[in-house]
Structure 1
Amino acid sequence: MWKDGMGWDDIASPAIQSVRRKLAGELSRLGDLHFDRRTIVPELPGEMHIFCDASKDVYGVAVYIVQGGRSSLLFAKAKVAPMKDKTLPVLELMAVFLAFKCLPSILDNCEGFIPTNLCVAIDAQVVLSWLLSQTMASNNIFARNRLRDVLMMKTELETRYGLQTFFKYVNTQSNPADLITRGISYRRFRSCLDFRRVGPSLLGGGISQWPELDLPCLSGMCQQMGRTPANCSISREPGCVSVVSFDRFSSFSHLLRVTSLVFRFLAIRLHRQWDCESRAATYLMRTMQQQGFPAELEYLRRPYGDHLPARVRDLNLYLDHDGLIRSKGRIDSSLHYDYEVKNPVLIAKQHPVTRLIIMDCHKGCCHLGTILAELRRRGYWVPQGRQAVNLILAECSTCKRYNSWPSPPKASSDLPSHWTDFCTPYQHTGIDFTDHLWVWDGKRNIKMYLLLFTCLNIRAVHIEVVPDMSVSSFLQALIRFTNQNGVPEALYSDNAKTFKGGGRLFNRLVLCKDYQDRYGPSNMKLKTISPFSLWYARAWKRCILTIKNCLYKVVGREKLNYFSLLTIISDIQRSVNNRPLTYISSADKDVTAITPNMFLRPNKCPGLLFRLDEEAPSVPLGRSELIRTLQLRDQCLSRFNELWYREYLLDIGFGRMMSFL
């Protein structure tokens, strides 16, 4: 129509109208065809292959992504040939020029995916020789300028994105861009739809598996340049290579920080606004799962076939929106926990990243043995978690140094009656001092002591920092303890002179009016154990050893001031009171484990809080809803008491005897 000089208001000829009606009928049937919208797995290594072709009427390109041995169509574009006649090799070169013009926009919209190799395939040997030799014997100024532009854009892409670009020859029968330039009917297009979606079969092996053909139009130097070097192959199984070496790091925080710096560098180079730490954590988890669970990952990506992995069935695994394998629990309707806790990420048992995560949890718990519960609180699930934790903690040099026993412990005697009947926390409390600690006051080191209050029923601890072991300091600490936790029924201590003196002084002071108002109604008793019977005080003595080990491992030889000591003591007290009192099985997916803090701070326990969903509308709670919430809290507290009698008391009464402390 343009060549015939027709205007916009002119009526088309019957022949042109017939062609238009036929084309409209063909285009209306394209709605029956389906293409996958998700073609890229973010951060998964892969290659990009571009096929170019041209005819006298049109030239175009087709872009394919190859990841993990799979190829899929990503982008396609065609343009009408110029009005001025061009030779077919020049039009083929214009198709290559079109491909490089579109590449920056394609790479900037690939969700952070940057291919390591870029392959441009054409079926014209003359154009391939121009691209490989970077010279042209023709005097065609238009073709020379297009070749110069292509080479310039190739250099810019390699510099900006870190790509390696290869020019390859492809047969016309294996070139999917040939479907663009020839013009085909709907019936023929539908018959070759699979070829259009996934491209030729040679894409499955990556660029290193492209066949080396005999091309007589290319010189020997160009043929050598067209061959793919052996060290440029990236056709590897996904997850076999990482941007960082996991074995070179000793802490998970250091590994995460270095990986986030890599993503920050990419964000600066690509002019993107990324949450680098979140992307780094997702990348580490995805890489670990690709290396540790290849069969499960392959099945979840293609959920078909007769073979269902046992781990997928037992743990109810699925892929989230980030491509991470998660274990779907049965508490999704609960508002007490976040999504990460209810659906933890699956981590490999014997992977370097898992070792770093477990060691990070171990240090966060002050080197206590509550790693499995801490892993679940952080949103991780380790198959055979208890064995994995024990295997990794056996390498902790700090625990080896302080947990070595000179001889096996002796058998324990029966528990006293007041230890086996539980009513309220700190109803029966054991007290004792630790050795002195050196605290820096700005000028010199001064001595400080720790006074430990231990609940004999739930093994909860309360720590007070006192300047000395005098009677007055002890009584002041006792008053602070009773102000926070209530007055106990009885205090138990050993035969130290401080407690003997404190007991006599306390008996005299209870006769005063102030002490009668405070402690008279409670009738608190101070009891001492029998002489040379330290085995009776094994409960609080063992807690003192636990706290001292935590101090040695956390503080080491560092000099602390008074407020730093208070902060560390507060962290240790929280960690000790967060230890599970019952055994957690590796196959048990119930994230609830009773701890001393569940009895001490029921309002701070996530399982006893009434939390609204973020998407739920904010509606004021009425009196009936508040009463129902309080009743639910009381039921949970009663359940904790039942668990204490059924699991914890029976457990320590038959052989384990406080080995968890």
Structure 2
Amino acid sequence: MAKNRVAPLKTLTLPQLELIAALIGARLASHLQKSLQTPNVTFWSDSQIVLHWLTTSKPLKRFVRNRVDEINQLTGKSLWRYCPTNDNPADLLTRGISADIFLDNQLWNTGPSWLTNRVQWPTWEYEHVTPQTTTEENAGNSEEINMSSLQCSDTLGIHNVIDITHYSSYTKLLRVTANVMRFIHNCRQNTNRQTGSLSASALHDAEIPWLRSCHATSFKEEIENLKVIGKPYRAPDPPLLPKIRVEEAPPFSVTGVDFTGVLYVRNETGSESKCYICLFTCAITRAVHLEVVPDLSTDSFLQAFRRFSSRKSLPKLMISDNATTYLSAASQLKELFQSTSLQEALSMKGTEWKFIPKRAPWYGGFWERLIGLTKTTLKKILGRAFVTMETLRTIVTEIEAILNDRPITYTSSNIEDMEPLTPAHLLYGRRMTSLPYYDIETETGMASIQSDQSILTRRAKIQANIINHFWKRWRTEYLTSLREYHKTTGSNERSIRAGDVVQVHDEGPRLRWKLAGNDGLVRAAKIKTVNGLTTRPVVKLYPLETVTSEK
């Protein structure tokens, strides 16, 4: 009885495919054991890496670990043995064989010649495959490897690979080391191979591992005393809301801008194309304006900005992310927001552009929250629908009206209370999604249209009084409600100072973090790294100190 399976569409390594084959064999054997009541089963595999995975106690990648656990559960105490590739009957079909040879093939019909004689069964040594599986196993454990390299054990270092006593001069040692490093690079890279004479940079790179090895052996105690598990600097209490958030001003005078992730729409030919939603939000009224743009280019954004400023208002101040926190299209957004042509176009209109600190998206919380609401609403409306660009624009405009009708003050359950304040009240004097009020005369059934100057002036004053009434509610209800979320602890000690050497938080392993060295309370700092000056919030900076300095 045999069983096979087509390789998955997802690209897998050959050892992973061999592991899937072992899993299929284990499932088949489990079925036969239950049906035929066979007590003992011996499993054979020609993959030494798979056999190593089945017997190792080291941590494995999730893909491998899940399948190894299932195999061990199915096979129980059954023995897995090694079968040489040339004696594996399964390879006849996986590699292909002609029909004439297949009919008379004894390996397929009876198996290997040594199968019936246990004395001749091939043996497999566990230690022989350990070096072959090191890279495969430790691919997902880079952080653990890097942490172990900090221990600076005498068994580690380049001095255990190259014997320094065999070379009479330091220059010769560096040239040998550079050639060894070039050989390793060429073995790993099929393209961009290094040839020719050694350059000065190659010799400099060869000197670095020797310096590290010397530091690890000569300053072992000092390196081990470096504290790399400390906590970051504590952020002080949240500051008072800036003036741009609480100062009464025309809507969209201070505007935050952000982009959603990529959206896919159907174009005229029926194929798939990308688009994005550009969100403009007022920092004062919390109103939003949404624009669908085809890409993240400067021209597309400027067109969206012109439509926004023509329909709403020309802002005095624009605030945005600095684009380094985006994982998708980060380079395009960075080029967009820092484009010279964009800055010049906005400056000519009298608009100033500011950026929040890098790696601190909470500084732009007043637009990030609305980005989340936009995505949630869009997902609930569209679901998995594949719409056109025109349909998406219509839906996004409707979402804009819904978001501008959301309450920003307390919503009472008593119908006699005033309806909650919304951004649309501050923009238009009424809610957008509710029907306007008509003064219907009983005699004619229709309101008479009057264009007298006094009537128009009176109506304009009434409209202004309504808007002023809503702004008064904005001051008394909305602003006072913001105090509920402002909590203080009283612990505002100044913990970071100019000249401090710190570690800069990054998404990678901690050992790869960069080194870098201030209103009275410091919440963000300008730091200097090997890549130049940049900004970071203090909660992303870790003090670098030794254990002895704390005593």
State the structure with more CA Rg.
1
TM-score if structure 2 supplies the norm length? 0.40
TM-score if structure 1 supplies the norm length? 0.34
Query: Higher relative contact order by CA 8 Å / sep ≥ 6: 1 or 2?
Result: 2
